[in-house]
Amino acid sequence: MAEGESAAHLPGARMEPQDELTKEGRLTLVLALATFIAAFGSSFQYGYNVAVINSPDELMKEFYNETYYDRTSDYLSDFSLTLLWAISVSMFPFGGLIGSLMVGVLVNKFGRKGTLLLNNIFSIVPAILMGYSKVARSFEMIILSRLLVGICAGLSSNVVPMYLGEMAPKNLRGALGVVPQLFITVGILVAQILGLQNILANKEGWPILLGVTGIPAGLQLLLLPFFPESPRYLLVQKKDEEAARKALRRLRGWEDVEAEMEEIRLENEAEKAAGFISVVKLFKMRSLRWQLISIIILMGGQQLSGVNAIYYYAGQIYRNAGVGASDVQYVTAGTGAVNMVITMLAVFVVELLGRRVLLLLGFSICCTSCCVLTTALALQDTVSWMPYLSIACVFAYVIGHALGPSPIPALLITEIFLQSSRSSAFMVGGSVHWLSNFTVGLLFPFIQKGLEAYSFIIFAAICLLTTIYVFLAVPETKAKTFMEINQIFAKMNKMSEVYPEKEELKELPPSTLEQ
């Protein structure tokens, strides 16, 4: 078909609904499968590796000790064993930070799909290393592998939302943007189920449990090459109009994609003055000030709100409520199931209620849960039913976090930044995410020891402050184009344009400005 030819001239083309369909995209088979493969092959692994190390922790510490004894005829001291285990756990968020810092370079050089394919190296290699660590009698292989799967998670947690957000039509962008978080929760739940003592959390099975993470990576490596690259990346950064048009046709399921091509071109024209916006430039630009502040607060609030601390403390809460030591693992898996179900609900309601409402509702529930949990923990030795209220607070917190704070911030990064600044914005957001994650994991045991029952007041305060910020400064982005969203922020930044002349166009030669 010629470049300007209308789809109406094609045999069997439907004329009337075409314009309407262009405005309201549908979930085609290609788009659905691309979403599934990207999220299962990448986001699933993030969730799986967050949770997989919790169940076999005592078995792995025993392996560390035995391995050290085989080498030195002496056992590790309690301090040395605790330090080795802390390093093993903390290598994951440290790797996540490294992965986040790699995002900008990789997505601009290899594309969104290309980066996801390359990222599988950071999953398949450590899966093999962890699977053979017991045979090789090497805990160093586990520590290195945790760093590598952390890099994988750092990349996937940023690239998958970017890839799906750029492929989705605007009316499905919210729903598809929540899918990565859904698969993170699926990964957590699968790790909790496989990590039951009668399945793989035993002496023979724990290396297999750790190595399972390579299976989704292998499937993605085989299947993702058959699906399109991000049309926005192809048109804006690769300057390949025909490839972008072909990708859009496959994703939308119809031939006439010129309206959407024009929308991408307009975005491109608005950004030509800016060129590629590096992280340093991002912090200097007044026209992106509120966007940057918003992602820093939302990504920081997401992790500093105490979600990892809740999971860390949950086992003790369940035991205090009378749950048997052998049954805690099943209640924990139940918490993971609730997390997954509520995130699945968020996929369906995000386009109905909007991003802003889910953030406000989610952070408010988390704040309330932390306050009530503090009271319940303080009174659990004096009031008989308080331990059960503690369990209810844990489940309420998980529900609140799964509704908004977990899935929405990464989606918003895709929506509130245009193509030239999006990769750098994900680097900033990802770095804040993983630094906050690492900080909570490192400091919470000390906070909990010092403040005991009152440690959750800190998280309640952070949830409250984040809720206030969202109410005052985060606009609704539902069903808006990237350009419409950025025009909203242009007003917030007191700019007449997305990229005002005094800030960006001054860098262009006069001849370019006159055209």
pLDDT for residue 11: 37
End-to-end CA distance of the chain: 31
Residue pair 111/230 in contact (Cβ under 8 Å)? The answer is yes
Contacts of 421 (CB under 8 A, 6+ apart): 274, 277, 282, 288
pLDDT for residue 388: 83
pLDDT for residue 497: 58
**Side chain identity at 181, as an amino acid letter?**
Q
pLDDT for residue 274: 58
Range scoring the smallest mean pLDDT among 2-16, 59-73, 339-353, 483-497 = 2-16
pLDDT for residue 40: 93
Q: What is the pLDDT of residues 145-173, one digit of tens each?
A: 999 999 999 999 889 998 998 888 888 88
Whether the predicted pLDDT of 50 surpasses 60: yes
What domains can you pick out in the chain, each with its CATH number? Answer: 27-227 (1.20.1250.20), 275-495 (1.20.1250.20)
Distance between CA 411 and CA 425 in Å, rounded?
Answer: 12
**Side chain identity at 128, as an amino acid letter?**
I
- CA–CA distances in Å: residue 86 to residues 268, 282, 423, 444: 46, 35, 31, 13
pLDDT for residue 225: 94
Whether the predicted pLDDT of 509 surpasses 50: no
Q: What is the pLDDT of residues 343-377, one digit of tens each?
A: 999 888 888 888 899 999 999 999 999 999 889 88
Residue pair 307/455 in contact (Cβ under 8 Å)? The answer is no
* Residue 17 backbone zone (phi > 0: left; psi -120 to 50: alpha; other: beta): alpha
Output the six-digit token pair for 186: 């699926």
Residue pair 320/387 in contact (Cβ under 8 Å)? The answer is yes
pLDDT for residue 504: 41
What residue has token string 């805990």? Answer: 139
For range 227-238, the mean pLDDT: 88
Q: What is the pLDDT of residues 4-24, one digit of tens each?
A: 433 333 333 443 444 444 456
pLDDT for residue 496: 64
Q: What is the pLDDT of residues 317-342, one digit of tens each?
A: 777 667 777 777 788 888 889 999 99
Helix 44-51 with 173-194: angle, nearest 10 deg: 30
Instruction: Give the confidence band of 511 by pLDDT, cuts at 50, 70, 90.
Output: very low
Output the six-digit token pair for 305: 């709100």
Distance between CA 398 and CA 332 in Å, rounded?
Answer: 11
Contacts of 47 (CB under 8 A, 6+ apart): 183, 184, 185, 186, 187, 188, 189, 190, 191
Residue pair 403/346 in contact (Cβ under 8 Å)? The answer is yes
Residue pair 169/479 in contact (Cβ under 8 Å)? The answer is no
pLDDT for residue 499: 52
Instruction: Give the confidence band of 186 by pLDDT, cuts at 50, 70, 90.
Output: very high
Instruction: Give the confidence band of 275 by pLDDT, cuts at 50, 70, 90.
Output: low
Residue pair 333/193 in contact (Cβ under 8 Å)? The answer is yes
Q: DSSP string of 360-402?
A: HHHHHHHHHHHHHHHHHHHHTTTSTTHHHHHHHHHHHHHHHHH
pLDDT for residue 24: 65
For range 294-299, the mean pLDDT: 94
Residue pair 49/151 in contact (Cβ under 8 Å)? The answer is no
Q: What string of H, E and C letters represents the secondary structure of 310-368?
A: HHHHHHHHHHHCCCCCCCHHHHHHHHHHHHHHHHHHHHHHHHHHCHHHHHHHHHHHHHH
- CA–CA distances in Å: residue 353 to residues 175, 417, 483: 11, 22, 21
Share of the chain above pLDDT 70, in %: 88
User: Which residue in 428, 402, 425 sits closest to 414, CA to CA?
Assistant: 425
Q: What is the pLDDT of residues 378-398, one digit of tens each?
A: 887 787 788 788 888 889 999
Distance between CA 406 and CA 298 in Å, rounded?
Answer: 10
pLDDT for residue 290: 92
pLDDT for residue 410: 86
Output the six-digit token pair for 421: 């600044």
For range 227-252, the mean pLDDT: 88
Residue pair 425/417 in contact (Cβ under 8 Å)? The answer is yes
Higher confidence at residue 39 or residue 173?
Answer: 39
Output the six-digit token pair for 243: 């490839």
Whether the predicted pLDDT of 273 surpasses 70: no
pLDDT for residue 368: 95
Distance between CA 409 and CA 435 in Å, rounded?
Answer: 16
Distance between CA 511 and CA 29 in Å, rounded?
Answer: 47
What residue has token string 């920081």? Answer: 300
Distance between CA 451 and CA 93 in Å, rounded?
Answer: 25
Distance between CA 51 and CA 238 in Å, rounded?
Answer: 38
